[in-house]
Amino acid sequence: MSIQVESSVGIKSYISNHNGFSAIIKQRYSDFLVNEIGQDGETVRLTSLEVVPVPTSVKNTIDTETQPSEIKDEEMELLKLLSGQMSLEQVKPSTFIIKTTGNDYIRKDFDMKNFKKVQINVDNVSKERRTVLHMYLKSKFPNLNCVTMDCDSSKYIVVTKKDGDSTYKRRVSWPASQRYLTFVLYKENIDTIDAVNIIQGKLKLKQNMLTYSGVKDKRAKTSQLVSVRQVAPQNIASAMSNFARIHVGNFTFRSKPLKLGNLLGNNFQIVLRDAKVEDSDFEAAVKSLKEKGFINYFGMQRFGSVNLSTHLIGKAILKGNFKEAIDMILRPHPADSESMLKAKRIWESKRDASEAFKTLASSRNSIEKQVFGALAKHGTSNFVTSIEKLPRNVSLMYVHAYQSYIWNSVVSKRIEKHGLKVLPGDLIYKEAKYKTILGNSGESKDEMKIGICDHDTFLEDCCDCEDLEDIDKSPVHVLSEDEAKQFDITEIVMPVPGIKSKYPENETKDWYSEFLEKDEITFDKLKHKVKTFRVGGTYRKVVIRIPNLNHFSCYYDDPTLPLLQSDLDVINNVDVSCNRLEHGKHKAIIVNFSLPTSSYATMALRELMKIETSSQFQESLNQTTSSTSKDSDVDMNGKKINEETSDNGIESNKRTCDFEENMNGKKMKT
């Protein structure tokens, strides 16, 4: 089931006829720099590691320092005792002394065990003033409840303990406008999900407490924004102080958290090593890419690694063959660790999930381990539940990969038959139609900053609406014959198949059916009986142009030395320019460009180079270099650092970490 070539996932066509050339993509993770582009159009960079203090709370409208006159001193002490702010020994003796007759005072016994409430008489207090008292008490004693009640012809504010919270906990009140700490996450050779999980684990935070706009490449040096609610910068900085591959900085405070899709795109700086191309041929290739663009394919990393073809698992799920899907996930592969191979062999021979799971007791929490755990808990034949129990982004990954395969296949056929021609019945975003009607041909501020503009629209993955076929609210418009003459191929979108997708009103709609039927799948099966795998669909630009591509060439002798200066290098004053030579053994081409959030840099490079981007092919190019150059990098002092390489070339994370961003990304700004 290994992915051998691009054609196996529908990547077959090119749109230009310039000469291609050979070069190695991602020979080292330091050859691939990614910087997020925020919704404000600014490129996210790590420029400061300085830790800033938490925001100063704005003063409440109710003064919590001044005790209201309606609350007596004795009542205040009892409230502190009830809330846990004060112990019984700290309470003034006078609080428990009552006057009898004359000058006789008797110490009142106090039953701490049955002390459950404090009553404050408010017979002569107005409703407005009682509201003020309630606000004061809630602010001063956040672990207590207070309610106004009538008792024995009198009115009281009755204060009691909250259930399950008998001890006093001081709550830090952050200003609403600064409630979310936002910081730059800089990482090296680790994917976003793993990096975020490490931070959450160090801080003992629950899953999904840290949020981000999109997932970045693993085999790269990347910078992106992350947000978390009411966590001090010092805590995060301290937690990551000894972690070499993760750095945090540029701390700010915002009123809202980040969500998936809250970005315009990404900026890429990429080294193409050991380039075999004449300058004139390269200039022609760049000109073609700028003018014609590239086919906006879902890249190879979308479809898993050599040991896990995610789209084939997705096909099995859509067909209802969950046993087949499980068997593919748990199929042994030579790249597996010793313990993983042992566990998979146990499953293969005995179908004993419990024994297989125990074998992985000390292993990391991989997809396979989670599947074994679910099978052991819910039954070795409960294949549906075992996949459903995976994290949502993982369980949906397989179906999304199959959707992407169909999209790639249909678009390849379209380009092969019609080239860059716009057809009657094609789809465009309604915004694009209005823009043309209004005669607004100028670029927006965001388009100029990122160089291109995309509008990928997310339709909910799981649809609860009764009328799933209602597409009147679709964001796309069908072009008439006359309208088709007014639009460019870069404005045409094709649907990623789903139950909410609207299809073109031309022959390309039939191609969707043809490719689905080859796999014995119909449109109806996309409305999966298992809700988890019921996907809505989305729309995707067919062609993307890159007018902002910049490049330069250099040479190098030592393939272990970095040629790009990362954000961390800038902070640490590490100069890599001396590694770029005017003459040397090997030629390198360094390219810099920006893409919208849903596009793959490797697919742009594919069109530029006319080269296969599958991991197997890139590995074959790497075989011409030494093992040292493939598997290690160097630190600031030139000392070699072992890389955790993945297929020695194009990233091949079997979780397909960028699927959330690509399938669920919001529309680009226009």
**Cα atoms in the 13 Å half-sphere on the side-chain side of 208:** 5
**pLDDT class of 469 with cuts at 50, 70, 90:** very low
How confident is the model over 35-45, as pLDDT tens digits? 999 999 999 99
**pLDDT class of 108 with cuts at 50, 70, 90:** low
| pLDDT score at 82 | 83
Residues 441 and 530 occupy one common structural domain: yes
Q: Is the pLDDT of residue 595 over 70?
A: yes
Residues 154 and 196 occupy one common structural domain: no
Which residues have a Cβ under 8 Å from the Cβ of 343 and sit 6 or more positions away? 356, 357, 359, 360, 368, 369, 372
Query: What is the arithmetic mean of pLDDT over 599-611?
Result: 94
The CATH number of residue 236's host domain is 3.30.2350.20
**Which of the residue ranges 117-126, 163-172, 215-224 would you say has the lowest mean pLDDT?**
163-172
- DSSP class of residue 20 equals -
Query: Which backbone phi and psi does 422 adopt, to 5 degrees?
Result: -85, 130
Residues 422 and 526 occupy one common structural domain: yes
Residues 451 and 352 occupy one common structural domain: no
According to the per-residue pLDDT averaged within each range, which of 22-36, 376-390, 432-446 is highest? Answer: 22-36
| pLDDT score at 625 | 52
Query: What is the arithmetic mean of pLDDT over 323-330?
Result: 90
More confident residue, 307 or 334: 334
In percent, the amount of the chain with pLDDT more than 90 equals 41
Neighbours of 244 (CB within 10 A): 10
How confident is the model over 534-543, as pLDDT tens digits? 777 889 999 9
Mean pLDDT of the chain: 80
Q: Is 490 among the domain residues? A: yes
DSSP annotation string for 155-197:
EEEEEEEBTTB-S--PPP---GGG-EEEEEEEEESS-HHHHHH
Q: Is 635 among the domain residues? A: yes
More confident residue, 656 or 524: 524
**Distance from C-alpha of 499 to C-alpha of 466, rounded to nearest angstrom:** 12
- Of the residues 544, 565, 581, the one at which a domain ends: 544
**Which of the residue ranges 25-39, 235-249, 310-324, 384-398 would you say has the lowest mean pLDDT?**
384-398
**Distance from C-alpha of 129 to C-alpha of 432, rounded to nearest angstrom:** 57
**Distance from C-alpha of 30 to C-alpha of 591, rounded to nearest angstrom:** 14
Among the options 217, 456, 647, 658, which is catalytic? 217
Q: Is 255 among the domain residues? A: yes
Written as six digits, the tokens of 191 are 């994917």
Neighbours of 554 (CB within 10 A): 18
Which residues have a Cβ under 8 Å from the Cβ of 65 and sit 6 or more positions away? none
165 CA to centre of own chain: 35
Q: Is 555 among the domain residues? A: yes
Q: Are 623 and 11 in contact (CB under 8 A)?
A: no
- b/e 2-15 (16+ beta carbons within 10 angstroms → b): ebeebebbbbbbbb
Residues 137 and 221 occupy one common structural domain: no
**pLDDT class of 48 with cuts at 50, 70, 90:** very high
- Of the residues 111, 134, 161, the one at which a domain ends: 161
How confident is the model over 16-35, as pLDDT tens digits? 999 999 999 989 999 999 99
Q: Is 434 among the domain residues? A: yes
- Strands in 202-329 per DSSP E: 211-212, 221-229, 246-254, 263-276, 294-295, 304-305, 308-309
The CATH number of residue 383's host domain is 1.10.1510
User: What is the residue range of 353's domain?
Assistant: 305-393
Residues 145 and 96 occupy one common structural domain: yes
Q: Is the pLDDT of residue 170 over 50?
A: no
Q: Is 468 among the domain residues? A: yes
**Distance from C-alpha of 524 to C-alpha of 538, rounded to nearest angstrom:** 17
| pLDDT score at 102 | 55
Q: Which of 512, 508, 511 is nearest to 537 (CA)?
A: 512
Written as six digits, the tokens of 437 are 């009607």
| pLDDT score at 533 | 77
SS3 string, 37-91, reads EECCCCECCCCCCCCCCCCCCCCCCCCCCCCCCCCCHHHHHHHHHHHCCCCHHHC
Residues 124 and 187 occupy one common structural domain: no
**Distance from C-alpha of 360 to C-alpha of 286, rounded to nearest angstrom:** 49
Q: Are 417 and 13 in contact (CB under 8 A)?
A: no
Query: What is the arithmetic mean of pLDDT over 414-431?
Result: 94
Element (H, E) at 281: helix 279-292
**Distance from C-alpha of 634 to C-alpha of 560, rounded to nearest angstrom:** 7
Q: Which of 668, 144, 605 is nearest to 451 (CA)?
A: 668
Residues 150 and 199 occupy one common structural domain: no
Residues 554 and 477 occupy one common structural domain: no
Q: Terminal CA-to-CA distance of the chain, rounded, Å?
A: 41
Whole-number CA gyration radius for the chain:
31
**Which of the residue ranges 304-308, 314-318, 340-344, 463-467 would you say has the lowest mean pLDDT?**
463-467
CA distances (Å), origin 227, targets 39, 133, 181, 197: 15, 35, 5, 13
Tally of domains in the chain: 5
**pLDDT class of 334 with cuts at 50, 70, 90:** confident
Residue 217 annotated among the catalytic residues of the structure: yes
- Of the residues 364, 393, 422, the one at which a domain ends: 393
**pLDDT class of 142 with cuts at 50, 70, 90:** confident
Residues 414 and 532 occupy one common structural domain: yes
How confident is the model over 441-450, as pLDDT tens digits? 333 333 333 3
Q: Is 485 among the domain residues? A: yes
How confident is the model over 615-636, as pLDDT tens digits? 667 666 766 554 444 444 433 3
| pLDDT score at 459 | 36
Which residues have a Cβ under 8 Å from the Cβ of 194 and sit 6 or more positions away? 218
**Which of the residue ranges 299-303, 570-574, 578-582, 613-617 would you say has the lowest mean pLDDT?**
613-617
Q: Is 50 among the domain residues? A: no
**pLDDT class of 465 with cuts at 50, 70, 90:** very low
Q: Which of 219, 151, 171 is nearest to 191 (CA)?
A: 219
Residues 646 and 553 occupy one common structural domain: yes
SS3 assignment, position 112: coil
DSSP annotation string for 557-577:
S-TTS--S--HHHHHTT---G
Which residues have a Cβ under 8 Å from the Cβ of 103 and sit 6 or more positions away? none
Residues 417 and 540 occupy one common structural domain: yes
